[in-house]
Structure 1
Amino acid sequence: MVFRHFRPRKPLSRLRCRYIRWASWFSDRNEAAHGIHVTGASGRRPQHLAHVAPGHPAASRDPALGGTRLRHAIRGVFALPAQDRPLRRRPRRDHLANPGLGGLGRIGDWWTQPIVYQKVVIFTLLFEVTGLGCGSGPLTGRFMPPIGGILYWLRPNTIRLPAWPGKVPFTRGDTRTAFDVALYAIVLIGGVWALLSPGHGGPVTTAGDVGLIDPVRVVPTIVALALLGLRDKTVFLAARGEHYWLKLFVFFFPFTDQVAACKLIMLCLWWGAAVSKLNHHFPYVVAVMTSNNALLRSRVFTPLKHLLYLDHVNDLRPSLLPKLMAHVGGTTAEFVVPTVLVFFAADHPWRWFLIAFMVLFHLNIISNLPMGVPLEWNVFFIFSLFYLFGHYGAVRATDLRSPVLLALVILAVVVVIVGNMFPERISFLPAMRYYAGNWATSVWCFRAGAEEKIDADIVKSSALVVNQLARLYDPETAEILADKIAAFRAMHVHGRALNGLLPRAIDDEADYKIREGEIVAGPLVGWNFGEGHLHNEQLVEAVQRRCRFEDGDVRVIVLEGQPIHVQRQSYRILDAKTGLIEAGYVDVKDMLTRQPWPEPGDDCPVHVIDDAHG
């Protein structure tokens, strides 16, 4: 397990096991500036890799070096090479100019044109579905190469995960075929075709404009992405279909209806995110995210980060401060401000105060460098604030006249409601349960040689994450960096549940390598974004069909999200060969009392409802 071989310095109060070593490696970028350097197994960093040294202090996986430097966990959660950081802060620009509008140098003259918002939607969908947006770069465990997406989904014989293989005809199987590759190519080609199209239909505003995109041009992308999503849910989720694909349907209606419908869709996204944060998980997210805030990396802010926890050494549960930040500055604001913007602000001058508040809201999310890298998502929201609520503030949501568009918005709301009540059935993305700390998750346990078998027997576009890192550094440093991801998970409520369930999945933790499900799924399916349904039984079965592991070679713990009306989370323990070992649930209240590390005599409270061994 992640907590083995720890030598306590003090009895009981310092029993922080292997987690402490993880926490010690969570330093911020300033460590390097103060003369602290990383060494690998050889004790020194090879000169040719000096420019990609990860930003954690000198560390070893030697059990004798447990230490008590827990402060690093709350100073910078996921330290990366300095040269990798621009990858997660890269500018979001270069949207293609429309024929007849002029170049980027004249953006001030044409950014409010009706066709511009349509093209921003299409561009962002393409950016996401190629793998350049969410799920890219070091924060999602992508190093060599830094993206999956297009490198994976244009490659036959890779793993695909159909949405409902037992219910939808012609979607069974888990191998990508030439048909799947063709559908993906149509999504890309159709998107570029629409993106490069001139205006159609003449001016649609009194100010004069070049018209709108001919809606026929988005039909190939709409149809191909829908069909592809049924055959491989990963691609549809990566395209952020619950947002950008949904907005493609809006293009078929008059411009006033388009603006009104887009405002309502934005409201659904804000409200969905706010509803999902009505839980005990979100303050943990806020504490961890703030610890990783790009603007708080100086040592000057270390005391502030200490205030995020009840005791920054002995009790890593969130203090009152992140609870207020989460449920007042976060949840309440996400309910109230967008509601006023959509239904009451219209074109009143004071709407700009609300717009400014929401811009700061999304800039704060970007500055926290969230795992999964949803940076384009927040940039899109900022642009939408200025475009929909700033320039077109006079168009109210109540101006929507199309019953079809209204039905589309209502359908999206229904999916959100069902997804919150039955999170095991609907992905957290269409359920709009964004970054609330309440996701489906998993932990994979590999015996010696199992990971090597996966790398050898499964077609994919990149090696497993640990092997990517070993090529950049050395095997020991690669293991340290992989452990940091597990430590990040342990800081959340569900991570404490997963670690508590680990002894129920494997007998001797020393015989296994423990991997966060996200870094397993990423190389295997081409994309990962905190969606545990991409690394549950479906992926386990696909891997087993290719690798044929023996009993005990691979064990997986799957933890579902918490339903909004029930304070419990279901879990399943699986063996790659024999299937279900145990199923049950954990009470959220029990997880709220736990630390990221086990205490002496610790026994995670569980409620077993299905035990394959009787």
Structure 2
Amino acid sequence: MSAAVSIWIVTLLGVASMVVFHLFITSTFPLAVPLEWNILFGFIAVALFAGYPNGDGYSIFDFSEPWMLPVFAAALLFFPVLGNLRPDLVSFLPSMRQYAGNWASAVWTFKPGADQKLEAAGMPVGLHTEQLAALDIPRDVRKIMIDLFVAWRSMHSQGRGLISVLRTYLGDEIDRREVWEGETGANLLLGWNFGDGHIHGIRFLEALRERCDFEPGEFVVAWVESQPVHRSHQEWFVFDGALGVTLRGTWQVADCVAEQPWLPNGPIPLEVTWQSGRAGATK
């Protein structure tokens, strides 16, 4: 068997593997995933690697202008490298960290009735409970449906950390609050979120603080940045809708991974790095 035939067989095996890979992802219908990307990349694998194989002059070393190779390589590597070292500066999408369970996220909590104040921020739709009530869904079922999003977040390691922060900060009062996944809150106010917690980060929270006239403790958020590739911890903060950021700290990702989603052993260990003098006034 000639070298050219061997290379062609390896190419076809690689193309077939990529097509099967993307078809499998599509077949599972995963939550919040743009499946059109998988269809597109399955097609691209066939069109590019089978239609224009390296042996026909289409390898990365066959640029007509050799200087273009380092330019393209630098352009393609810049955001993934920066985003993995400084995830606070780059969305998880250009960082190529999508769907790894490691991105900026948040959990929102409200005292009973305080979520109504979101209407002052120009919310274009009704609250979750109002939308579900319009579908004649029973009250108890509505509550479960909203809580499912928080349960889903707790399946990721940072969700266990966020609930640990809120449980430590609010104590048993968290059981008397409305608890939302941050992405669903952003959906109500912005119309979309795409899963990146930077969209509903500190600037967004400060905008709500200016518009909604919350009292101290009515609206409390735990927010976390994704884990940089070279560190073992994540940085989080607590935001009060009247007071701003009241607490900052870190947790070890290994502690989140080791714990069960429902935190049977209580909150994971947290390290507080900064505390506002009014942090205790929010409860």
Deviation of the 1:493 alpha carbon: 1.1
- Note if contact 2:232-2:253 (Cα within 8 Å) is conserved in structure 1: yes
1:308-319 matches, cutoff 5 A: none
Query: What's 2:237 paired with?
Result: 572
Give me the whole-angstrom Cα distance separating, in 2, the residues matched to 1:435 and 1:352. 28
Per-residue deviation, 1:345? 10
SS in structure 1 at match of 2:247: strand
Paired position in structure 1 for 2:125: 462
After superposition, where does 1:250-399 map in structure 2 within 5 Å? 348-393=8-53, 394=56, 395-399=58-62
**Could you say which residue in structure 2 is the equivalent of 1:518?**
183
Alignment-derived partner of residue 218 in structure 2? 553
| Separation (CA, whole Å) in 1 of partners of 2:63 and 2:129 | 51
The equivalent residue for 2:107 is 443
Give the drift of 1:375: 0.6
Does the aligned pair in 2 maintain the 1:467–1:478 contact within 8 Å?
Answer: no
> Scaled by the length of structure 2, what TM-score is found?
0.87
Tell me how far apart the structure 2 counterparts of residues 482 and 345 of structure 1 sit (CA, whole Å): 56
Q: Distance in 2 between matches of 1:545 and 1:369?
A: 39
Distance (Å, rounded) in 2 between the aligned partners of 1:438 and 1:608: 21
Match of 1:400 among 31, 56, 63: 63
Aligned-pair CA distance for 1:404 = 5.3
The 5-angstrom pairing of residues 10-409 of structure 1 reads 348-393=8-53, 394=56, 395-402=58-65, 403=67, 406-409=70-73
CA contact 2:168–2:267 (8 Å) conserved in 1: no
Letter in 1 for 2:121: I
Shift, 1:401, TM fit = 3.6
> CA contact under 8 A between 1:521 and 1:535: conserved in structure 2?
yes
Mapped pair 1:433 → 2:97: yes
Can you list the C-alpha shifts for 1:161-219, whole angstroms capped at 9, x where unaligned? xxxxxxxxxxxxxxxxxxxxxxxxxxxxxxxxxxxxxxxxxxxxxxxxxxxxxxxxxxx
Structure 1 position 442, deviation (Å):
0.3
Distance 1:505 1:345 in 2: 65
More deviation in 577-586 or 456-465? Answer: 456-465
Residue aligning to 1:612: 276
Q: Compute the RMSD of aligned alpha carbons.
A: 2.3
Aligned: 1:539 with 2:208: no
Q: Structure 1, residues 462-507: CA drift from partner, whole Å, max 9, x if none?
A: 3344432232223332221111111111112111111211123324
The separation in 2 between residues aligned to 1:405 and 1:603, in whole angstroms, is 50
Distance 1:347 1:529 in 2: 40
Matched, 1:487 2:151: yes
Structure 1: which 5+ runs fail to align?
Answer: 1-343
1:496 counterpart (135, 160, 167): 160
CA distance in 2, matches of 1:459, 1:408: 43
* Distance change (3 Å), C-alpha of 1:545 and 1:356: same
CA deviation vs aligned residue, 1:414-450 (integer Å, no higher than 9, x gap): 2111110111221111111121111111000011222
| Aligned positions of 1:587-598 closer than 5 A | 587-598=252-263
Check 1:511–1:379 CA distance in 2 against 1; reply closer, same or farther (3 A cut): same
Q: Which residue of 1 aligns with 2:134?
A: 471
Structure 2: stretches of 5+ with no match in the other structure: none
Letter of the 1:399 partner, please give it.
D
**What is the CA-CA distance between 1:453 and the residue it aligns to?**
2.1
1:530 aligns with 2:195: yes
1:505-562 CA-to-partner distances (Å, cap 9, x unmatched) read 3241233100001101112222222211112212111222221211111101001111
Paired with 1:499 and 1:510, the residues of 2 have a C-alpha distance of 11
The DSSP-based 3-state class of the residue aligned with 2:229 is coil
Separation (CA, whole Å) in 2 of partners of 1:486 and 1:385 = 37
Task: Quote the offset at 1:610 in angstroms.
Answer: 0.4
Deviation string 1:565-588 (CA, Å, 9 cap, x unpaired) is 111111101101111111010011
Q: Equivalents in 2 of 1:348, 1:553: separation in Å?
A: 64
Relative to structure 1, the CA distance from residue 469 to residue 405 in structure 2 (aligned partners, 3 Å threshold; closer, same or farther) is farther
Match of 1:332? none
**Matches of 1:352 and 1:568, distance apart in 2:** 42
Q: Is the 8 A contact 1:559 1:570 kept in 2?
A: yes
Structure 2 equivalent of residue 419 of structure 1: 83
Q: Secondary structure at the match of 1:608?
A: strand
Q: Take 1:501 and 1:529, find their aligned partners in 2: how far apart are those partners?
A: 24
Whole-Å Cα distance in 2 between the matches of residues 533 and 583 of structure 1?
Answer: 17
Quote the Cα distance in structure 2 between the aligned partners of 1:469 and 1:434.
30
Cα pair distance change 1:518/1:466, threshold 3 Å: farther
Alpha carbons of structure 1 residues 464 and 389: separation in structure 2 relative to 1, 3 Å: farther
1:528/1:405 CA distance change after superposition, 3 Å: farther
Instruction: Report the alpha carbon displacement of residue 460 of structure 1 after superposing the two structures with TM.
Output: 4.5
- Mapped to 2, the partners of 1:562 and 1:355 lie a distance apart of 33
Shift of 1:389: 1.3
Contact 2:106 2:197 in 1 (8 A): yes
| Deviation (angstroms), 1:372 | 1.6
Equivalent AA in structure 1 for residue 192 of structure 2: W
Q: Please state which structure has a larger fraction of its residues in strand.
A: 2
| Partner AA of 2:16 in structure 1 | A
> Secondary structure at 1:451's aligned position in 2?
helix
SS in 2 for 1:398: coil
Identity of aligned residues (%): 35
